[in-house]
Structure 1
Amino acid sequence: MKSLYLRVWLTVVVVLAFFALGSGWLAQRHVDQERERLMLQGGGGERVRALGELIAQALPEAHEDQDRQAEALRAWSERLRMPLALDDAKGRRIAASAMFERRQAEGLGPAPWPLALDDGRTLWLMRGPRPGGERRGAGYDGPEGGTGPGGPGRGGPWALLDPWRSGSGLVAFMAALFLAVALGAYPVVRRLTRRLETLQRGVERFGSGSLGHRVDDSGQDEVAQLAASFNRAAERIESLVQSHTRLVANASHELRSPLARLKVALGLMQDAQMLDGRVRDGQAPDAGGSPMRQRLRQEIEHNLRELDALIEELLLSSRLQAQAGQAMSPGSGGAVGGAAVVDLLATVAEEAARSQAELTRADGVTPVAGEERLMRRAVRNLLENARRYGQGPVELELRHTVLRGVAMAELRVLDRGPGVPLHEAQRIFEPFYRLPGHAESEGGVGLGLALVRQIAQHLGGQVDVQPREGGGSCFTLSLPMQAGVPRAVSGG
């Protein structure tokens, strides 16, 4: 059984049901003992003994034929409407009336009373039923058939014990107790487990990225203490994540200042070369300088561009991390928040032309809801990765597909590079991770694919890589064609 509240509730009900059975059995014993006490206190015992002695005197002698004894016993039982039985001196049953046998077979009523006769025989007696007693249950004492206090035919206190004597009262009591316990325990148990379910939903919401979410920790019990412990842990985690995000963002912003100064210095250096004393008579200023200086300048410009791209990717990554709780899942609804509808085909075509890649297939793709700048960055990073590590032309395919019942736009970027081992297929999307053997001289810092995955998840999609038939890799970016639109990532 999956529901905790049902397990707890059934445990309580079953335990109390056993308790009710035990209590009923003890109550029945107490009723029997109390009945015996009331009969003795009220003189009922003396009357039964006297009646038994009269019956004994009317019975045939012990040495007479047992059939005659049995016939006489049954006759007196019918006349007095009292269950009777007779044993010989050795304890062997001589005869028993039909009412006596029926009472013993049904297990109803008190135990029979033994009356020792002078000749060694034992006469067993039970209290007889009132008129209609057989219809209402054996052992029922009516106003004309009882032998309780008040004389024959007067029920007295026995009227209070009649339902218990018939057994129906005990069954009704246990059923009522079971129903009361079941109805009373359910809301208590449900309230306890509902708090656990609320805590579970809060933990899942926090784990999905809503780091500011807290659960209700009111109360003094263990559930409240657990909720309070979770809130404290969540607060520390949120503080650490925010500190990390601020650190990355602040570091990226701080790096932009020296980067700008380097660019200015590089421009001033070029101007100074044109005005230095190496200008000859009648010659134009040498803007390029020596070949060595040209190579150094190109290297500096290349490194500055990479540093600028790194800072931009760090800033974008930190903003996506800060808004991770707002990532949309596929099929979560229509566009919200006024976000633009992006023509993915046009974006892919522009980036393919820019990277000199070939768009070989594009069919069935409608505009998707999202942020054009993020989609363009994801496509550009995939193309740049294929250009850097691939060999030969890069091909793109854009098509419509269905993933888990959701219409998706699927972009496939195919290259003829060395490929990605299957055991590395997920690690390459981790920040700053490089495949073994890919040196820094090939360019990049290992953030491009990680940023693609962040963008895909932010837009409610996914990205993966598979080996390409004939060698190389196939990177697949899937974005929902009908999905909720996350809030736009602010520029920096």
Structure 2
Amino acid sequence: MKSLYLRIYLTVVAVLLAFALIGGWLAHRQIEREREQAEQAQDERLQAMADLLERALPPADAPAFEQAHALRRWSLQLRMPLALESATGERLASTPRFERRQELGEGSPPKVLTLSDGRRLLVLRPWRPRAGLPPVFGPLFERAHVLGLLFVLLFIGVALGAYPVVRRLTRRLETLKRGVERFGAGELQHRVAVDGKDEVAALAQSFNQSAERVSALVRAHQSLVANASHELRSPLARLKMALALRDETGPNPRLDQEVARNLAELDGLIEELLMSARLEASAPQRQRVDLLGLAAEECAQAGLALESELPEAAVQGEERLLRRALRNLLENAKRYGGSEQDLELCRRGTWLDVRVRDRGPGVPPELTERIFEPFFRLPGHAEVAGGVGLGLSLVRQIALAHQGSVRCEPRPGGGSVFVLSLPAA
């Protein structure tokens, strides 16, 4: 995790450095462009000034004092240090400011403008002693220095500010990593703290939700294994006892029936366990199933009445699983439902309801959800009543796998109604 922290922090710093370098390069290019434009504009102004002075100055053959007088007058008006040389390079006139700047060596070399008659006009750009640069260029270079300093300060400030942000982020990731390791080591009740509302907090919340589901599944499987072991042990013990008695007493039809019944119970238990495991491992196959036809077949086999006014009733699902759900509901009604049981198939909007009704002792309201848990039996329903407590649990699994539901309702006049609801095709 430390390497992740360093990678994140160094990435942030590298991005900031790249931003500073690119920003500095762009600023430098802009300043250079402005400098070139300023130089070009000044050269154009100086050339225009030279054209003006050429027309205003006395001709080249005029006396030197006239040329000097005119040059000084125009220098004062233009506020520019000027000097005038002949075509041969002889100094004809210069202003005091030009001579003083030349003696002190201040500023840049003079700009030489050649007039049409061969004379040369020397111009010194205005100069500020503080900056040592012409006023046109001084602000540009000062701006470059200021921008460079600002980039450096910005880089340092953001790099320092990014450290606690990155450290806090990676610390939360480290906490999440330790929580995952503890959960993986077997501490199924361990959860991580959800701090904040960002992606890391969402990840921690998702981990807690997943851990809760995994813990519930592990507890359910542990309970299933424990209950399955108990349920398998009971018929096996009865088989062992029946076989031992048969060895002692010889062939006995009653013992043979007991052996056959216990074998059938074992077979049913194993089949329901395998079907439950398959439902958890994979989704059912989808095809159009005639639910009305299935209900008619199962009711005929169970010897129960079917009530339905629907011309047809079809759902999308796996026929084998839906048949098993109907069979389990009907067997449950025959086992505990007293003397009156039937099945009603009706439509409720976009749903098809299979209602298996009985006149049995009913289910207490506080237990209408628990009866769908694996291996749960109502108080007073002993093993001798038949069944192993997986039938209704398997019905719920099949219903959920088909985006449906199952519930138990009290029946007016006594008894129960088990309602299997499935989306109509």
TM-score normalized by the length of structure 2: 0.46
TM-score (norm 1): 0.41
